[in-house]
Structure 1
Amino acid sequence: MACDCEKNLESKFSTNQVDLSLMDNVFDRYHKENGNLISILQDAQGVYGYLPLDVLKLIADKTGNKRAKVYGVATFYSQFRLNPVGKYIILQCQGTACHVNGSEAVGNAICDELGISPGETSSDGMFSLEDVACLGCCSLAPVIMINGEAYGNLTPDGARRIIKDIYAKEKEEAV
């Protein structure tokens, strides 16, 4: 039985049921090699798109690590996601240049348009929104990045239009 501190930590992870057999190839690749925890976590995230709780428990069991260590590594590094993310990941710059040029209003428009807050995924699974310290595109402030593509000199209406255009493109491709 998990202690209260383990239950509290586990509450941060998605509890979606997943096919654990998808991890067989990952474990075969790192068979009994010590020091591969981060590589195994990266590969697991590549398989599922995030790190489901059941997968973390399986990794702990298969590698002989304590769950606390596996959870600790997964929560320490920002590259690891604990919950499913949308098809489009919006990174919103919170740097000084973006802040003074209106990123707060842009962020509010994105949140309103998608019905989410930073750190969340839209109910349709299309978009995830993350605040980041800096995107390194200060001359384009305020700026967001969606799946690696920068959109700069944004206004609230411009940000809404980008989201609507992506939805329209998705709808068109579905036909």
Structure 2
Amino acid sequence: MADSSPSLDPVELGAYFDLIEVTSLLRHAVEQQLREAGELSYVQFQLLARLGDAPSGSHRMTDLADGVVYSRSGLTYQAGLLEKAGLVIRTPSPDDERSTTVTITEAGRERLAAVLPGHIEVVKGLLFEPLSRDDVTALAGLLAPVREHMRATPPRSAAPRRRGKVS
């Protein structure tokens, strides 16, 4: 009887390990730069960047959690730290009192502007410098359908919350 368990061929396995290593090395360098330049965690930077890009400077907390792929409770904690630092404000959502809206402050925009040049330098230097423009275009073309495939499942905020043990 043949083994029917799922496996990765050597090329798939190599691509997977390369992707994981590249992602880990890049994330480590980015996190170090963000801490040194702006005393921000990677998730806090993602939150500020998403808010800074929004025309209103605001997002619902649930949408932020889905966008940055982070748990609701973890995001609430990170948003609380940003609020204590004066970088965002949290208010009840105008269209749903059960939701919270997060808005970037002027201080948040200033912090984002302070860390962004170094952030771009790290990303360009580590990720894009060894690649040609055609390579970058090819990489973007390869990653986009994978990202869309992974995002095709409902966002975690749409999943029912666990309410403890059911007897």
TM-score by length of 1: 0.23
Q: Which has the higher helix share?
A: 2
TM-score (normalised: structure 2): 0.24
